[in-house]
Amino acid sequence: MIEGEKILLRALEPDDVGLLYEWENDTAEWDSGETFTPVSRHDMKTFINHADLDIYHTRQMRLMIVRKSDNQTVGYIDMFDFDPFNMHASVGILINHKFRLQGFAKDTLRVFCKYAFNFLSVNALLATTATTNTASKALFSGCGFRHVGVFRGWIRRNNVFGDVELFQISKADFQ
């Protein structure tokens, strides 16, 4: 397992189907990502069954975030759009609403960046977030990601098109 101060990162397990099903279908979270349709239990099982495949094959990886104090699963972190030639990828994180504002996201992101840069030899990570998501913007900025741009009118919420901000960190900038 990959260990931080407050968390452990672990691979997906078959028992995670219920949590992932609940979190992926929580419509309150859909504004933070690009999800706009429910996900079936079958799809979650299939996703977990393929999670052990090599990142070079799937171009993505999801790790579960576990609170060290009691082994409670509090969220997940994703690396996706992995480009093995240019060695860059996108990153996204979800902390269940019950566990927010406890430092889990910051600890997770720092530990994950260290893993991605030092073990996987990724050169750069990109995060995108809605301009209105102040918590997410503060998280990425606070972990050393630099604001590198804006996609104008990139996401639609309630038939209104909103902007998405891009944050990037490179291996050379990671501390």
Confidence label for 46 from pLDDT (cuts 50, 70 and 90): confident
Residues above pLDDT 90, as percent of the chain? 63
Give the homologous superfamily in CATH for domain 2-125.
Gcn5-related N-acetyltransferase (GNAT) (3.40.630.30)
Q: Please tell me the pTM assigned to this model.
A: 0.86
- Please provide the average confidence, as pLDDT, over all residues in the chain: 87
Q: Which residues contact 22 (CB under 8 A, 6 or more apart)?
A: none
- Whether 59 and 82 have beta carbons less than 8 Å apart is answered as yes
Confidence label for 55 from pLDDT (cuts 50, 70 and 90): confident
Strand order in the sheet with 124-130: 2-3, 7-10, 61-67, 72-83, 88-95, 124-130, 160-170, 146-157
Predicted confidence (pLDDT) at residue 33 exceeds the cutoff of 60: no
- Whether 105 and 94 have beta carbons less than 8 Å apart is answered as no
